[in-house]
Structure 1
Amino acid sequence: MDKKLKIVTIGGGSSYTPEIVEGFIKRYKHLPVSELWLVDIEEGKEKLEIVGALAKRMVEKAGLKDKMFIHLTLDRKEALKNADFVTTQFRVGLLEARIRDEKIPLSFGMIGQETNGLGGFAKAMRTIPVILDICKDMSELCPNAYLVNFTNPSGIITETVIKNYPNIKVVGLCNVPIGMKKSVVKTLDVPESEIEFICGGLNHFLWGRKVLHNGIDVTKEVIEKSIEESDNLPANLKNSAQWLNEQIRDLKMIPCGYHKYYYLTDEMLNEQLKELRNGLGTRGEQVREVEKSLFELYKNPNLNIKPKELEKRGGQYYSDAACELISSIYNNTGTVMVVSTKNNGIIDCLPNNCAVEVTVKVFKDKFEPLPQDPMPIEVRGILQLMKNYEEMTIEAGVKGDYNKAIQALTINPLITSGHVVKTLLNEVIKQNRKYLPQFKNIKL
């Protein structure tokens, strides 16, 4: 067996951790992980200990107790020494910050969502300083390690690394294209191995551009079947707001679930407001209840597998995809996956030095993109607008540039009133002061 591997998971106390542990266990023959370090912060210590104990039970059940060692620590630098891979799945400010991100825009009559609009902007502002600190540590302690990021907003965080730490080998992951492909497979009722699903766009803003079944283009058939049989597209987001079928036929592509916030903004906002009125709370508040139940399950000393209830948390497949990605890099297998990576001309209408989410073959030293047609006029403009928003958001988050933050929010399509942009930004800064060192000199 080749070199033993040291993998570090930052945000190790996450409820998703059992999935990544399961992923490494089932791949152990081809991916010999000898050390898995789960890292968290003081506020997450209790969850880290609960999840870490479950991880150790899972490893013991798999018969790997003396081969795969689980380490729990609050010392990130200790963990990072000589790591081969670093995965990031942390949430700065924990779920309480997410709930605030959702409530601020909703109080102004705008979409309140974790990674889109004002909520996604606020999350990026909190996360950027931390990812830069992690990259600084990696440059010193494990300069050859791969950074596999699935901390949201994943595309923005991946691009932050690309632009500020070009020496770090970084790749971003998201479960949205995985869910889209599974929906396509279900629509066609064929084995997943027979489908090639070519995606292109940005994280949480990508389209299924082409579906190949045994090499034959069946994209139109997938779209028609989805419309005719379920009156909804395989977009991995279930709700009552329906796509405009004429629009989707004209696109000739499959939108991702998050496009509903842009294509059907009013309908989605009304759904969110209705949930609030009915006492269901924001999505963050709903997730908080799911998390409480999960951690009660995790405490059970007899539990030694990933519980099925984790699927209710949302975001399933993230961690398994991370394990598959790491395995493909380690074994140089060329596995076809959808990742966020440096554009370098893959998407013709976007800058080379930005992050895009595209279908690639994953090798040890490169991500080889599958061919992409030029972006059609139907989506080119809004795609470029969203990339402009992302670029200015990154600049604001890295430099603490208040004026650039105003510009970013002004052009975001989900900030529907330019008159309140400054008020919104001030509210984000005020409610997140302790997490925004880059804005420490801004007087409100």
Structure 2
Amino acid sequence: MKKFNITIAGGGSTFTPGIILMLLDYLDEFPIDTIKLYDNDKERQQTIADACGILLEERAPWVTLTASTDPAEAFTDVDFVMAHIRVGKYAMREQDEKIPLKHGVIGQETCGPGGIAYGMRSIPGVLELVDYMEKYSPDAWMLNYSNPAAIVAEATRKLRPDARILNICDMPIGIEELIAKNLGLSSRKEFEVDYYGLNHFGWWTDIRDKKGNTLMPEVISHVSKNGYATDGSSELEQQASWNSTLKKAKDIQALDPDTIPNTYLKYYFFPDYEVANSNSERTRANEVMEGREKFIFSECRAIIEKGTAEDTRLTIDEHASYIVDLARAIAFNTKERMLMIVENNGAIRNFDPTAMVEIPCIVGSKGPEKLVVGEIPRFQKSLMEQQAGVEKLVVEAFEEESYQKLWQALILSRTVPSASVAKDILDDLIEANRDYWPKLK
């Protein structure tokens, strides 16, 4: 069986060790020859690389690991690029969250003004990776889960239309694992779903077991009372901010009782609630920096100091198994049914054909084949049109270096109450992002 070469773009990420552990767990199904780490922060990446090198030597010594800041070295002779970059790191995420809150608007990583700011930083970073891949390994596929996925997907559709890039998000996967747990199932792979929307902006319309029997009434009953909360033991529920998010899903679900929602819809439907329950001095970025960031790097340094990963507390990133499923589908033509972010082009009949929608696809060696959703209700259609407009305006603003269009994008977001507030936020975001955004005219 062929062994694959993989580049992890964003090699210095705190998620990289979990992804490598996950890849090791699937070596029988997806053999690997070489893993290359690529990042523009050499020092940060080196800590991750040194620890993961020890881990690989102990668990899979035949797998080669390299780390580089040189695109030619990192992208030459690879089959897949797994991209999860964060331009500006968590310091800029903190600005994305705190600047809108200063103006009484929700501060969030991928939604509203924070997501727009992050998108303006991410677009050039992801386009650069696509160009490196096409230059040095033109037959490779990029599996991109860099946030904000909706804006990045629209940018690659418009600005790199022929690129071999697949845009995905693991958030629905995380929710489906919680659903499986509440159903008493061992895994989300025991059922099949129907889903449509935009990234971080969608609805499940059916969940069926492998015999085709709907499980939806039981799921709806649980979500309408408890949201996506389980017995409290899941990793997400151990984090206060996520615990409240999972429970809030019951209020979102009440808006359309026949479906169940993506949790991120709370930011659009209940922005006043979210602002009132936010701490403008300590946002999610601070939680991550003080929690996950410190933990992962301290664990990596401990591995390096001891020279062994035998007792490490680093764990497999289970959500990332979705990425292996996607790589396997491409490599071995498995025709797996997966949620993907793809150009609509008629899959949702009464919606913009150029919008990047998140829907089930059958994935094989030629990429995703969209499954037809049909027509969607007026409520969802109207909401999606507004949000797709935000995403398209952000990409146009980036391409044209347009202040006007970025202002319009902020005005169009359901999270922003007025044009004057949008302008005040935009001016503050421009100042904070002067080292990352193009100079707007």
- After superposition, the Cα gap between the structure-2 partners of 1:356 and 1:246, relative to the gap in structure 1 and judged at 3 Å, is closer
Q: Give the Cα–Cα distance (whole angstroms) in 2 for the partners of residues 367 and 420 of structure 1.
A: 40
Q: Give the Cα–Cα distance (whole angstroms) in 1 for the partners of residues 321 and 104 of structure 2.
A: 37
Query: 1:287 and 2:284 equivalent?
Result: no
Alignment size in residue pairs: 424
Q: Give the Cα–Cα distance (whole angstroms) in 2 for the partners of residues 330 and 352 of structure 1.
A: 28
RMSD of aligned Cα (Å): 2.3
Query: 1:226 and 2:227 equivalent?
Result: no
Q: Give the Cα–Cα distance (whole angstroms) in 1 for the partners of residues 267 and 123 of structure 2.
A: 24
Query: 1:411 and 2:416 equivalent?
Result: no
Query: 1:239 and 2:235 equivalent?
Result: no
Asked whether the 8 Å contact 1:145–1:168 carries over to 2, the reply is no
Q: Give the Cα–Cα distance (whole angstroms) in 1 for the partners of residues 324 and 154 of structure 2.
A: 21
How far 1:388 moved relative to its partner? 0.9
Aligned to 1:57: 54
Moved more, 134-143 or 289-298: 134-143
- After superposition, the Cα gap between the structure-2 partners of 1:20 and 1:57, relative to the gap in structure 1 and judged at 3 Å, is same
- After superposition, the Cα gap between the structure-2 partners of 1:327 and 1:222, relative to the gap in structure 1 and judged at 3 Å, is same
Moved more, 7-16 or 349-358: 349-358
Q: Give the Cα–Cα distance (whole angstroms) in 1 for the partners of residues 163 and 7 of structure 2.
A: 15
- Give the letter aligned to residue 345 of structure 1: G
Asked whether the 8 Å contact 1:33–1:68 carries over to 2, the reply is yes
Given candidates 75, 90, 98, the residue that maps to 1:95 is 90
Q: Give the Cα–Cα distance (whole angstroms) in 1 for the partners of residues 321 and 258 of structure 2.
A: 30
- After superposition, the Cα gap between the structure-2 partners of 1:425 and 1:360, relative to the gap in structure 1 and judged at 3 Å, is same
Q: Give the Cα–Cα distance (whole angstroms) in 1 for the partners of residues 195 and 312 of structure 2.
A: 31
Aligned to 1:203: 199
Asked whether the 8 Å contact 1:389–1:409 carries over to 2, the reply is yes
Aligned to 1:255: 261
Asked whether the 8 Å contact 1:172–1:339 carries over to 2, the reply is yes
Q: Give the Cα–Cα distance (whole angstroms) in 2 for the partners of residues 415 and 211 of structure 1.
A: 34
Q: Which runs of 5+ in 1 are unaligned?
A: none
Identity of aligned residues (%): 29
Q: Equivalences for 1:161-172 in 2 at 5 Å?
A: 161-172=156-167
How far 1:362 moved relative to its partner? 1.8
Q: Give the Cα–Cα distance (whole angstroms) in 2 for the partners of residues 190 and 247 of structure 1.
A: 22
1:98-119: CA deviation from partner (whole Å, max 9, x where unpaired):
0011010000001000100000
Asked whether the 8 Å contact 2:168–2:340 carries over to 1, the reply is yes
- After superposition, the Cα gap between the structure-2 partners of 1:330 and 1:268, relative to the gap in structure 1 and judged at 3 Å, is same
- After superposition, the Cα gap between the structure-2 partners of 1:244 and 1:191, relative to the gap in structure 1 and judged at 3 Å, is closer
- After superposition, the Cα gap between the structure-2 partners of 1:11 and 1:251, relative to the gap in structure 1 and judged at 3 Å, is same
Asked whether the 8 Å contact 1:19–1:306 carries over to 2, the reply is no
How far 1:337 moved relative to its partner? 2.0
Aligned to 1:20: 19
Q: Secondary structure at the match of 2:244?
A: coil
Aligned to 2:239: none
Q: Give the Cα–Cα distance (whole angstroms) in 2 for the partners of residues 224 and 217 of structure 1.
A: 13
1:236-283: CA deviation from partner (whole Å, max 9, x where unpaired):
7421774566963744111111011112222111111xx34xx6x110
Q: Secondary structure at the match of 1:31?
A: coil
Q: Secondary structure at the match of 1:435?
A: coil
- After superposition, the Cα gap between the structure-2 partners of 1:431 and 1:178, relative to the gap in structure 1 and judged at 3 Å, is same
Aligned to 1:145: 140
How far 1:304 moved relative to its partner? 2.5
Given candidates 266, 270, 276, the residue that maps to 2:272 is 266
Aligned to 1:364: 365
Q: Secondary structure at the match of 1:239?
A: helix
Q: Secondary structure at the match of 2:302?
A: coil
Q: Give the Cα–Cα distance (whole angstroms) in 1 for the partners of residues 269 and 229 of structure 2.
A: 15
Aligned to 1:332: 333
- After superposition, the Cα gap between the structure-2 partners of 1:132 and 1:246, relative to the gap in structure 1 and judged at 3 Å, is closer
TM-score normalized by structure 2?
0.90
Moved more, 114-123 or 318-327: 318-327
Q: Give the Cα–Cα distance (whole angstroms) in 2 for the partners of residues 32 and 194 of structure 1.
A: 25
- After superposition, the Cα gap between the structure-2 partners of 1:245 and 1:411, relative to the gap in structure 1 and judged at 3 Å, is closer
Aligned to 1:342: 343
- Give the letter aligned to residue 50 of structure 2: A
How far 1:233 moved relative to its partner? 4.2
Q: Give the Cα–Cα distance (whole angstroms) in 2 for the partners of residues 147 and 420 of structure 1.
A: 38
Asked whether the 8 Å contact 2:108–2:115 carries over to 1, the reply is yes
Q: Secondary structure at the match of 1:433?
A: coil
- Give the letter aligned to residue 293 of structure 1: F
TM-score normalized by structure 1?
0.89
Aligned to 1:8: 7
Query: 1:110 and 2:105 equivalent?
Result: yes
- After superposition, the Cα gap between the structure-2 partners of 1:22 and 1:136, relative to the gap in structure 1 and judged at 3 Å, is same
Asked whether the 8 Å contact 1:329–1:362 carries over to 2, the reply is yes
Q: Give the Cα–Cα distance (whole angstroms) in 1 for the partners of residues 320 and 89 of structure 2.
A: 19
- After superposition, the Cα gap between the structure-2 partners of 1:405 and 1:267, relative to the gap in structure 1 and judged at 3 Å, is same
Given candidates 294, 297, 300, the residue that maps to 2:299 is 297
Q: Give the Cα–Cα distance (whole angstroms) in 2 for the partners of residues 344 and 404 of structure 1.
A: 25
Query: 1:80 and 2:75 equivalent?
Result: yes
Q: Give the Cα–Cα distance (whole angstroms) in 2 for the partners of residues 243 and 411 of structure 1.
A: 24
- Give the letter aligned to residue 252 of structure 1: D
- After superposition, the Cα gap between the structure-2 partners of 1:164 and 1:234, relative to the gap in structure 1 and judged at 3 Å, is farther
- After superposition, the Cα gap between the structure-2 partners of 1:168 and 1:306, relative to the gap in structure 1 and judged at 3 Å, is farther
- Give the letter aligned to residue 425 of structure 1: L
Query: 1:29 and 2:28 equivalent?
Result: yes
Q: Give the Cα–Cα distance (whole angstroms) in 2 for the partners of residues 294 and 262 of structure 1.
A: 32
- After superposition, the Cα gap between the structure-2 partners of 1:409 and 1:306, relative to the gap in structure 1 and judged at 3 Å, is farther
1:382-431: CA deviation from partner (whole Å, max 9, x where unpaired):
01110111111111122212111111111100112221222221211111
Asked whether the 8 Å contact 2:76–2:136 carries over to 1, the reply is yes
